[in-house]
Structure 1
Amino acid sequence: MKNGDSAGDGGAVLVGTGRTLLLKSATLTRNRAAGSGGAVANDGGRVILRDSKVEKNSAGVDGGGIHTSGGVVSLDSSAVSQNRATADGGGVASADGYVTATHSSVDKNEADGGGGGIDNDGTADLQSTGVTGNRAGGDGGGIRNTGTLVVGRSSVNKNTAANGGGIHNTGLLWIGRSVVKENVADADGGGLWNDNEATVESSDITGNETRDAGSQGGGVYNENGAPGGNTVLTDSTVTKNQASDGGGIFRASGSVTLNRTRVKENVPNNCSPSGTVAGCVG
């Protein structure tokens, strides 16, 4: 389906409450919505994509590819790529919805606001999925999470944003057996920016960076706004990240806990301010 043009939501299709859209081996491309959901807008229904592509769509508000509000979106062996949102969620935007992605990719999407790849204000579960090469003008180049996010056996790589090049979290976040690599933030948190609850297990945060003078937290930036940041890393590595200060981890406030986690080979230092992260040397 292509070249749809909606004056409201859903450039190609609008799914209403109680309705189900199932796409198999389909491509939604070059659709436009003046509102949200460049290709698909889901308003309380269920959207299932299998072996399908959502690419090169655009939205005047949120969800360049897909927007869901209170509904369910399931991606199975599918790709959401090269979509653009004027506001948030270049690839996928979820407003109190439920999003699952398995063996899928969210690549090269752009948002002028937050969440270059995914903007999640509901519940999102990513398994064996890549979030790569997305860009946000605001926060969360790969993913901006204000809800509940699970990243399992997945990768968040080479994304860019103002803060939180890989992931910007102000919700509940769990990362397991995953890689957060080579992401870039202009200001703080090249790999991960956290101001709520973030748990990282058996994962690698590596090769991320911040670019601006005075920027902090090349690998991880832990904030203490409201409700406050609590980052726990277990059986993980924070290596070869770079920032003006806190190349590996910068703890602005809140708490950062290391359990059997190596923080090494970061530039210009591993953790900052000195002595604020127990078990981190240099």
Structure 2
Amino acid sequence: MAGALVAVPAPAAHAATVQVRCSVADLVAAINAANSSPGPDTLQLARKCTYKLTAPDPANPGNGLPVITSEITIDGRGATIRRDEHGGKVPKFRILFVAPTGNLTLTRTTISGGFATDCPFFPDPPGLACGGGISNTGTMKVTHSKFTGNTSRSDVFAQGGAIDNPGTGSVSDTEVTANHVIYSGSETGGGAAGAAIANDGPLTLTRSRLTKNTAIVTEDTQSFAFGAGIISFAETTIKDTVISENRSFAPGGFARAAVANGIPEPGRLTVTGGAIRDNTSDAPHGFGQGGGIANNGLMTVSKVEISGNRVVAKDGTARGGGVRIGPFGTLDLTDSHITGNTVVAANGTAQGGGLDNPDGGTLTARRNEVHRNTVTARGGTAQGGGLYHAGGPAGLGTTTLERNTITRNRAGDGGGIFKASGILTLNGDVIRDNQPNNCSPAGAVPGCTG
């Protein structure tokens, strides 16, 4: 029709793929160009190149690379992005920061040597440090990658030695090893949380390995080193992942677990499959609380191997070699193996070799094997080789057992179960061959004898 106006749609933005030479300057330029272009971009790094960062991003000196503000995929193809310490002369900065508008997919890349000096999502109070490798406040997907040798250190509170996720994140088929989170202050009550990963989420972690990460606090400050593998402050789902050989160290403070549910939150921590093994919580003249798991929120654990974990507190209190439940914790534990965990407190108090519910929490355990866990305290008190239960100050804590097998555990008293107070019920459980006895005090656990 004559004079008719026809609307012509604007051209759609297309994904762009850019080959990035083995040059930090080229990588910086590629990220800046991707941020300013419409549509998603893929940056393919030079195969097996090491991009050595020697200076922070001028616009955002807490980060080594420009802030991710758009949809970007970094395909490392085996490359490494590393902060090059150069004899200690290079400033401290993390490697990557994803802004709230950013959407980063990181694949086949190693992130190394990052050092967090700020906490972008939690700027107040000043002095916090979050995410030595990556801090994500937008959307992040990490696959087939590795994080090693990254650090978050603060005189106030540090979290996320390798990854800090206040945004929406997923990590799969990735190794997170030898990262550190450190509280270096002198004030009472500081904290170091999540040496591998700290999640303010939501976050999904799948088919990955968190190994040999450390959480450390200043001696005798009554500070908290917790979640040497992962700390959950929000909804977290862990599937088919191995969390092993991580260490929380808090002399004169509180050392808590490789897998920790931080504070009571509406989000649930769910662990399915995989293993939590050979981790250590060490608190000389302090409080060791959970070697494998410390839960003080909502948590579900199913079909997990929880084995070989240790809680050590010479001249202190050590409890929960495999699993410890705090006063606000609710744990559903099913079809898992809690085996070979140990609690040691020379001249102190040691309780709950396999499972520990001492402060008024709620434990429901079905069809688990609790086997060969040990509690020792030379010169002190050692109770509950398989399970220690107390109702907490109000006496309301509950442990409900159904069709579990509790065998060959050992303690000074209550080799199988020690019940101090509260409500503990059995339903079809097998409790036998524990040393020196199956349940203590005599008659405290109806249905358990010997």
Shorter chain as normaliser: what TM range? 0.7 to 0.9
Aligned partners of 2:354 and 2:332: how far apart in 1? 14
**Which of 126, 135, 141 in structure 1 is aligned with 2:321?**
141
Q: What count of residue pairs does the alignment treat as equivalent? A: 245
Unaligned ranges ≥5, structure 2 = 1-146, 183-191, 217-224, 283-287, 313-317, 344-349, 377-381, 391-396
The amino acid of 2:386's aligned partner reads G
Find the counterpart in structure 2 of residue 205 from structure 1. 406
Q: CA RMSD in A?
A: 1.4
- Larger radius of gyration, structure 1 or 2? 2
Q: Percent identity?
A: 33
1:1-282 mapped onto 2 (5 Å cutoff): 1-7=147-153, 8-16=158-166, 19-34=167-182, 35-43=192-200, 45-60=201-216, 61-69=225-233, 71-86=234-249, 87-95=254-262, 96-97=264-265, 98-112=268-282, 113-137=288-312, 138-146=318-326, 147-161=329-343, 162-169=350-357, 170=359, 171-186=361-376, 187-195=382-390, 196-210=397-411, 215-224=412-421, 229-243=422-436, 247-251=437-441, 272=442, 275-282=443-450
Q: Is the 8 A contact 2:439 2:448 kept in 1?
A: no
How big is each residue's C-alpha offset from its partner over 1:125-184, in whole Å with a ceiling of 9 and x where there is no partner?
Answer: 111111100001211000110100111111111101121000110310011011111001
Q: Is the 8 A contact 2:425 2:446 kept in 1?
A: no
Aligned partners of 1:281 and 1:68: how far apart in 2? 39
Aligned partners of 1:62 and 1:280: how far apart in 2? 35
The verdict on how the C-alpha distance between 1:21 and 1:238 changes in structure 2, with shifts beyond 3 A counting, is same
**Using CA pairs below 8 Å that are at least 6 residues apart, which structure has the higher relative contact order?**
1
The verdict on how the C-alpha distance between 1:197 and 1:277 changes in structure 2, with shifts beyond 3 A counting, is closer
The verdict on how the C-alpha distance between 1:6 and 1:279 changes in structure 2, with shifts beyond 3 A counting, is closer
Q: Could you say what secondary structure the match of 1:234 adopts?
A: coil
Normalised to the residue count of structure 1, the TM-score between the two structures is 0.83
1:90 positional shift: 2.9
The amino acid of 2:320's aligned partner reads G
Aligned partners of 1:276 and 1:81: how far apart in 2? 36
The verdict on how the C-alpha distance between 1:81 and 1:281 changes in structure 2, with shifts beyond 3 A counting, is closer
Aligned partners of 2:193 and 2:257: how far apart in 1? 11
1:13 positional shift: 1.1
The verdict on how the C-alpha distance between 1:79 and 1:277 changes in structure 2, with shifts beyond 3 A counting, is closer
Q: Could you say what secondary structure the match of 1:88 adopts?
A: strand
Aligned partners of 1:66 and 1:281: how far apart in 2? 39
How big is each residue's C-alpha offset from its partner over 1:25-80, in whole Å with a ceiling of 9 and x where there is no partner?
Answer: 1010000011211111113x1221111111110112111111122x0221111111
Aligned partners of 1:115 and 1:12: how far apart in 2? 22
Q: Could you say what secondary structure the match of 1:209 adopts?
A: coil
The verdict on how the C-alpha distance between 1:62 and 1:239 changes in structure 2, with shifts beyond 3 A counting, is same
Unaligned ranges ≥5, structure 1 = 252-271
The verdict on how the C-alpha distance between 1:278 and 1:81 changes in structure 2, with shifts beyond 3 A counting, is closer
Q: Is the 8 A contact 1:88 1:119 kept in 2?
A: no
1:197 positional shift: 0.6
* Structure 1 runs, 4 residues or longer, greater than 4 Å off: 275-282
1:281 positional shift: 4.9
1:276 positional shift: 5.0
The amino acid of 2:416's aligned partner reads G
Aligned partners of 2:408 and 2:293: how far apart in 1? 21
Aligned partners of 1:240 and 1:99: how far apart in 2? 33
Aligned partners of 1:276 and 1:84: how far apart in 2? 35
